[in-house]
Chains A and B, each alone.
Chain A
Amino acid sequence: MARPKSVRAPTTASLPNNLRIPSSTPSLAKTLGKLSRQALLGLALTWLDDRNITSFPPYLQADEENGGDDEDTLPYPAAETIEEVRNAYQDLQDRKGGKREVLERMLEGDWRKGITLRQLAMADLRYMDNHPASLRWTALELSRIVARKKPIEKGKADDWSNNVPRMQAATFVKGLQQEIAPLVKAHYHLARSSTLPLTILRIFIIDSPYQSPRQAPEIFADSSRVIYVAFPDSCPYIYTSITATGSKQAGPTTSSVATDPRSLQRLVRDAIPKALSRPQERYTLKPTSLAAKNLPTLLALRGPGRSTSANGAFSIFADSALEGSPLDPRLSNTVSAEEHMRSWKATVENKENEISADQAHESKKRKAADTNPGTLSPTSKKRRLAVQGRFGTAGGSLAPAPLDRLDVRLLDQPTFDDEDDENSSNLPAVSLTFTGSDVIGGIRKLAELGIIDPKRMPSWMTGEEGVSMAVVRGGKRLQKEA
């Protein structure tokens, strides 16, 4: 327990990386216990890596002599060298066993002095890499505030593709720290996702002005105090794990001192666009009506690639399943959509393919699913074509973007109502909520089975809008004018 004996004075600095949480903290063991054995071992070896060894030194015999800590009852005798510790974990990796032994070795053996905040953050991010659907993410759009409308210059060529605010991670964190420091004490951890084209910022927030807060150590592993912000590459969107944005209060509330995690989260959320802004270039966050559990879904629907504004029936354009290259002499309609997609994949090392989720893997799955022989009756064949027209390539077994929830509010007047009763205030509001592992895929299946008429269903059911919340009138989604 590293509690410095120096004077405790309130500061505006961030929580230090090396602030240690006592290893005996039960919630810490619980947090680390969520990881699999493999992940724990990988984590331990990362900590013991040459680059990190100075930040997270394991407990060695030398420490024992210096500290004079004579508690030799612990089951893990201190190792002599770092190499020895590394070998111990390598051995554990080579043989089978439970994760209990790894966890105990880490907490009671090599890091008995405590786990630092940075280590905890790394553990959390490792968990997220392995479980991309462990959190619910909300996509927000970064849009530039134009205070004075200048007449748009047509000649300026550079103008069209500076849509994405240029961001330097370290500068951004500094800016964010400056924004929230007077209100919130935080610990920041920035990392690149190992599986997706994302940079993830983990922010741990606490309401104490001191460098080493006096709160119970339990609080450091409290997941409600952790905020994730993910920055996808090259697109003006960010994803956050802050869900309840609900009613955004205008301006800071001066009356009450915000101390609960919720209001601290709100403070952080409000600070993000300010930290991204620069003089003459201010940004604001706009909601995009999309929240989903799966990060690949967000990347497909609000990401840098082709599918961001072409979904549902238009996914054939995003996947270029419609036609081949202009060098292909074969007639477009004699070639199946799958073959078009495959030939594109083969000929062009496309940039989008790399930046969107690993589609090659997905297409393999699809091939296996789609090659059922065409012994279909004429009606079901017709229906199948109609379904394909409505959904395109979306919602099929290849869908890289499963939505786990779709909320729809229907504003249509019930048809049985009298025409003269047009008072909209007493209209019954119909809200539909679909939940499941893949809502659009499910609707597509229902249409394929003939339960939903593919010709008459409205387009929001095909996932065309790419949203998880929608207000619908007359079969069309109403968009709030900004």
Chain B
Amino acid sequence: MNHSARYPGASPDPQEEKQDEAIATIRAEIQKLQKRKRTLASSLLSAHSIQKLIRKPPPALTSINNELSPLVRAAGKHSECNHYRIAFGATAFPFQDPSPTANDNLLGVRLDVCARNGQFAKPYYVLLRRERVRGGNEKRLRVHRHTVPAFISMSKLEGAFLPFPGSGKERVEESEEGENLKPWKGQERKQDLRGFVRELRRELVAWHMRTDAVDFLREKLGLETGSLSSSSERALPVEGTGVMSLASTAVEARYVRLEWEDGRVGRFKLSNTGLVERAVVIGDAGRDKQTEDTMTGGGGRIEALLDRLRERGQSTA
């Protein structure tokens, strides 16, 4: 918190400024220490030995349960929740919609994805509501709100795994295939929440792995990581490969664009499993099929892409 910046009108007295700065650093220090204290306290409270003690108190200490601070219990619950989040990546929780017209609790699904640097990305949330099927007694789930990036088609996923009779897509299917030879089609398909979450999480993880892979290559090239393609940046070509720039063409990191120092440009498609699926390289003299083959060949792993290009560079040189 820059204190002096808050009062831009104040006189720029050097003495005052110095003091302001000192105060600001002290405040920051206090905040940091408070944060540390809270982290340590919660870690202590949720520590395995303490939690074990609470769960199975020794006979002499049975009264401890009544006197125990709710903080300790909450800490235990919280760490347990964290363990689930880390281990399974998909966790459910109830959420009460504060709207006065909402009639039911929402079912929240939280998806945690661990990124390359060992830290977790912001969790993705999907909130599902229960809705009564028209003309039936059964209640089915529908996606209410979500924070999944727009390039993943939630409506498609929902249509595949959480079919809801009467919603647009389903109706078409029924009218078209109603008299088909597939009697099971006429019946309402069962909702598959597990499958829904599994596919969604797979897609999100694949996206994170793709961006991580591109970041990894950019790091190797000495380019700034984490940004989309901008035409101005240029790396010094890594010896042997001659690659000047490498960046994903869009947020979903499905296609990656490459530029060589000799003016060739290329583009490759990155699969969910981390393979270079297809590659196109075009130079002044047309397609460079050999480089394309180098990119997709040799197992096609994206991580080894630069090594393959370097080998090829050495063999042709």
Contact = CB atoms under 8 A, between A and B. Distances in A.
| Same complex | yes
A354 B230 CA distance: 13
Given A309-B145, A326-B120, A349-B226, A474 B153 contact: no
B98 A331 contact: no
Contacts of B99: 313, 390, 458-459, 462, 464, 475
Given A326-B112, A329-B46, A331-B78, A475 B101 contact: yes
Interface string B138-174: 0000000111111111101101110000011100110
Interface stretch (A86-94, A229-237, A247-255): A229-237
Contact of B153 (A160, A307, A320, A331): A160
Contacts of A329: 39, 42-43, 46, 75, 78-79, 82
A313 B98 CA distance: 7
A257 interface: no
Given A233-B228, A309-B147, A331 B75 contact: yes
Given A164-B151, A331-B74, A458-B100, A309 B122 contact: no
Residue among B46, B122, B161 facing the most chain A CB atoms (10 A cut-off)? B122
A347 to B, nearest CB: 5
B125 interface: yes
Interface string A150-184: 01101001111111100000000000000000000
B195 to A, nearest CB: 7
Contacts of B161: 154
Most central of A154, A234, A320, A328 by chain B CB within 10 Å: A234
Report, as a range, how many residues of chain A touch the other chain.
Answer: 35 or more
A288 B214 CA distance: 34
Interface in A231-287: 233-237
Contacts of B226: 349, 351, 354
A329 B82 CA distance: 8
Contact of B168 (A233, A234, A482): A482
Contact of A317 (B71, B125, B203): B125
B200 to A, nearest CB: 8
A332 interface: yes
A354 B227 contact: yes
A325 interface: yes
B86 A159 contact: no
A348 B122 contact: yes
Interface stretch (A119-127, A298-306, A422-430): A298-306
Contacts of A348: 115, 119-122
Contact of B152 (A163, A311, A482): A163
Interface in A131-154: 148-149, 151-152, 154
Contacts of B100: 455-458, 475
Contact of A458 (B101, B145, B206): B101
B21 interface: no
A237 B199 CA distance: 24
B150 A163 contact: yes
A326 B168 CA distance: 38
Contacts of A235: 149-151
A389 interface: yes
A160 B251 contact: no
A355 interface: yes
B150 A237 contact: yes
Nearest to B185: A151
Interface in B212-269: 225-228, 250-252, 254
Interface in A333-375: 334, 344, 347-352, 354-355, 367-368
Contacts of A197: 228
Given A348-B115, A355-B251, A310 B97 contact: no
A476 interface: yes
Contacts of B97: 313, 459
Contacts of A236: 150-151
A464 B98 CA distance: 11
A216 interface: no
B225 to A, nearest CB: 8
Contacts of A330: 38-39, 42
A323 interface: yes
Nearest to A148: B176
B147 A159 contact: no
A389 B102 CA distance: 14
A161 B254 contact: yes
B296 interface: no
A154 B189 CA distance: 13
Given A149-B173, A161-B254, A314-B127, A474 B101 contact: yes
A74 interface: no
Interface of B: 1, 6, 38-39, 42-43, 46, 71, 74-75, 78-79, 82, 85-86, 97-102, 112, 115, 119-125, 127, 145-154, 156-157, 159-161, 167-169, 172-173, 176-177, 185, 195, 199-200, 202-203, 206-207, 211, 225-228, 250-252, 254, 271-272
Given A164-B252, A386-B98, A462-B99, 11 more contacts: A234-B251, A308-B150, A310-B125, A317-B145, A323-B123, A326-B120, A327-B82, A327-B119, A389-B98, A464-B99, A476-B101
11 contacts: A154-B160, A161-B153, A161-B254, A163-B150, A306-B149, A310-B146, A311-B145, A326-B120, A327-B86, A455-B98, A456-B100
